[in-house]
Structure formats: C-alpha cells, structure tokens
Structure 1
Amino acid sequence: MTPTDLVLAAAEEHNVLLPASYDILWSAVCVVIIAFFLVKYAVPRLTAMLDERAAKIEAGLAQAEEAQQAAAQAEEQIAAELGAARREAAEVRERAQEEGKQIVGDARAKAQAEADRVTANAARQIEADRQAAQISLRTDVGMLASELASRIVGESVTDRALQSRVIDRFLDELDAQTAQAPADAKVQEA
C-alpha cells in the first residue's frame, strides 16, 4: 500500500469537515452557558432599555400632540382676540368720525354765528357812518346853500328858521332828483 492509499483510507474513516464529537459537546456546553447568561441578564436589560426608549418616544409623541392642540387653541384664541380688536378699532373709528363731524358742525355753527355777529356789527357801523356822513353832508350842504343864497340875494341870511327851511327844501329836492334818476335808468334799460 502506498502512502496515498493510507491517507485515502484514513480520510474515509474520518471526515475532515466534521469536528470531533468531544469538540461538538464542549461547544454545545459553552453555547448553553452563554445563552443562559444572555437570557438571564442581557436580554432583560436590553428589553428594559427598549421598553424605556419606547415609553419615552410615546411620551414625546403625546407631548407633541398636546403641544399641537395647545397651539391650535392658542391660534383660535388669537384669531378671536384679533377679531374683537378689529371690531373695537372699527367702533373707535366710527365714534371718532362722528365726533369729528360733530366738532366740525359745532365749529361751523360758531363760525357762522361769529360771522353773523361781525356782519351785524359792520352793518350797524356802516349805518352809523352813513347817518354821520348824511348829517355832516346836510350840514355842509346847508352851509353852502345858505352862503349861496346869501350871495344870490345879496344879503346875509341870518334867520335860523329861514336858513333851516331853505336847507331842508334844497335837500328834499336833491333827494327827489336822486331817487328819480335810478327809476329813469330802469325805464331806459327796458
């Protein structure tokens, strides 16, 4: 037998790919011991950590949901307050416009009353000035008429009553001519 035959015969008896039975036995004992420690100590701790993590995630989700609900309620409250503020601002604007109109009306009424008062005072002053001018004019015209009559007659008119009658007659004739001139102008226009 040749050496190769011996190796082949030994190889047929013993498979190189299969370990020896004592190796399998000791490996199984080690796996059981490791599995026991893993199941007894590592798996419960790992499970506890995973449970704790899941609880934290669920709590975080619950808090996030509560925060979303609170934010939605806050938005609704803000929207309601904003609407109320807008309504209040509109009411304030309307009141201010009404008060402004009232103030303007009062100011116009006061200004009109003041204008009426000034106009009435001015009319009284004009009337007083006109009367004063008329009296002054009558006096001056009377003096001139009296002087003219004295020159025409050649004697001084000293009688006050006569002088007053002459002046009044002259002024009455002058007034009549003045009143007749506008009436003649109207007739000519027609």
Structure 2
Amino acid sequence: MSANSLILAAEEESHNPLLPATYDIVWSIVALAIVGLVFWKFVLPRAQEVLAERTDGIVGGLKRASDAQLEADALLKQREEQLLETRAVAAQIREDARLRGQEIIAELRTQGEAESARIVAAGRSQLRAERDQIVAELRADLGRTAVDLAEKIVGEHLEDSVKRGQTVDRFLADLDATSAQRK
C-alpha cells in the first residue's frame, strides 16, 4: 500500500462521519453570526417597532373604545333625562289643555245659560206685550159689544163718548170682579 493510502486509511479511522469538518463548522458559525448580527441590528428593532405600534394601536383602540363607550353612556343618560323632561312637559301641557278646556266649557255653559235666560226674558216680555195688546183689543171689542147690547136692552142710542166710556168701564169692572170671585 502506498503511503497515501495509509494516510487516508488512518484519517478515515479517526474521522467521525457524523461530525462535519472543522472548516464547515467555522464557516457555519461565521455565517450564523453575520445573519444573527443583521437580524439583531435591523430586523429585531423593526419587529419591536411594529409590535410596539400594534400594542399602542390595540391599547389606544381599547382606550378610545372605552372613552367612546363612556361618552355614549353619558349621551344616552342625557337623552333619557331629556326624554323624561319632555314627557313631563308634555304631561303638563296636556293637563293645562284639559284645564283650559274645562274653563272654556264652563265659560260657554255660563254664556249659554245667560243667552238662554235673555231669550226666555225676551220671550216673556214679548208674550206680556202680546197679551196686553190682545187684552186691549178684547176690551175694545168687548166694550163695543157691551155698548151694542146695552143699546138694544136700554133702547136708546149711547152716542155720548163719556157715557159710553163709563158704561164700558163699569161693565169691565163687573167682569173683573166676577172672574176674581170664581178663582
């Protein structure tokens, strides 16, 4: 065997096939250090910035959502208070309208009663006037009839207006006295 083959055979016996060669380990460590340095210098800070921005965005969003929820709750409470106040005002307006309606009805009733009393009084006054007129007409007719009857009974002509008036008055007084006795 040659010397080279002995060296190779000796190396092969001492060399573990599971372990890489030393130069491979060294160059792998250098490449890993360069990638680690680039990652640590450029990628990791940018990833931390993005993570911080997202954290701030999430925390800020939650804070804004919480603030918005508190503001919405305050607005809701304010709207409910306004609604209650509006309902109270509406109830007061309805009550005022009801009371005003009752006042108007009472006022109209009073006016109606006054108008009714005025119409009744006017009617009674008109009836009295018509009755007085009819009584006067009846007295005049009754007086003429009485004079005509008296002329026939007495047989003389009663032309004298004084005598005629006295006769009519006496006759009517007798009639009034007779009707007063009957009642």
Instruction: Output the TM-score relative to the length of structure 2.
Output: 0.81
Q: Which amino acid aligns with 2:51?
A: L
Q: 1:67 offset after TM fit, Å?
A: 0.6
Match status 1:94 vs 2:95: yes
Q: 1:98 offset after TM fit, Å?
A: 2.0
Partner of 2:117: 116
Q: 1:160 offset after TM fit, Å?
A: 2.8
Q: Which amino acid aligns with 1:45?
A: R
- 1:6-35 Cα shifts (integer Å, max 9, x gaps): xxxx98765554433322222222111111
Partner of 1:80: 81
Partner of 2:62: 61
Structure 1 unmatched runs, 5+: 1-9, 184-190
Q: 1:92 offset after TM fit, Å?
A: 1.8
Equivalent-residue separation in structure 2 for 1:128 and 1:113 (angstroms): 22
Match status 1:128 vs 2:129: yes
Q: 1:129 offset after TM fit, Å?
A: 1.2
- CA 21–142 in structure 1, closer or farther in 2 if over 3 Å, else same: same
Instruction: Output the TM-score relative to the length of structure 1.
Output: 0.78
- CA 18–139 in structure 1, closer or farther in 2 if over 3 Å, else same: same
Q: How many residues align?
A: 174
Equivalent-residue separation in structure 2 for 1:17 and 1:120 (angstroms): 139
Partner of 1:19: 20
Equivalent-residue separation in structure 1 for 2:16 and 2:95 (angstroms): 106
Q: 1:85 offset after TM fit, Å?
A: 1.5
- CA 15–177 in structure 1, closer or farther in 2 if over 3 Å, else same: farther
- CA 140–12 in structure 1, closer or farther in 2 if over 3 Å, else same: farther
Q: 1:161 offset after TM fit, Å?
A: 3.5
**Corresponding residue SS for 1:155:** coil
Q: Which amino acid aligns with 2:150?
A: A
Q: 1:36 offset after TM fit, Å?
A: 1.2
Equivalent-residue separation in structure 1 for 2:133 and 2:33 (angstroms): 143
Percent identity of paired positions between Structure 1 and Structure 2: 38
Equivalent-residue separation in structure 1 for 2:178 and 2:36 (angstroms): 148
Q: Which amino acid aligns with 1:32?
A: A
Q: 1:89 offset after TM fit, Å?
A: 1.7
Q: 1:176 offset after TM fit, Å?
A: 4.8
- 1:116-138 Cα shifts (integer Å, max 9, x gaps): 22222221121111111101110
Equivalent-residue separation in structure 2 for 1:94 and 1:80 (angstroms): 21
Structure 2 unmatched runs, 5+: 1-10
Equivalent-residue separation in structure 2 for 1:172 and 1:132 (angstroms): 18
User: Is the deviation greater in 45-54 or in 14-23?
Assistant: 14-23
What pairs up with 1:146-157 in 2 under 5 angstroms? 146-157=147-158
Equivalent-residue separation in structure 1 for 2:13 and 2:100 (angstroms): 119
Q: Which amino acid aligns with 1:88?
A: V
Equivalent-residue separation in structure 2 for 1:103 and 1:109 (angstroms): 10
User: Is the deviation greater in 171-180 or in 60-69?
Assistant: 171-180
Q: 1:88 offset after TM fit, Å?
A: 1.6
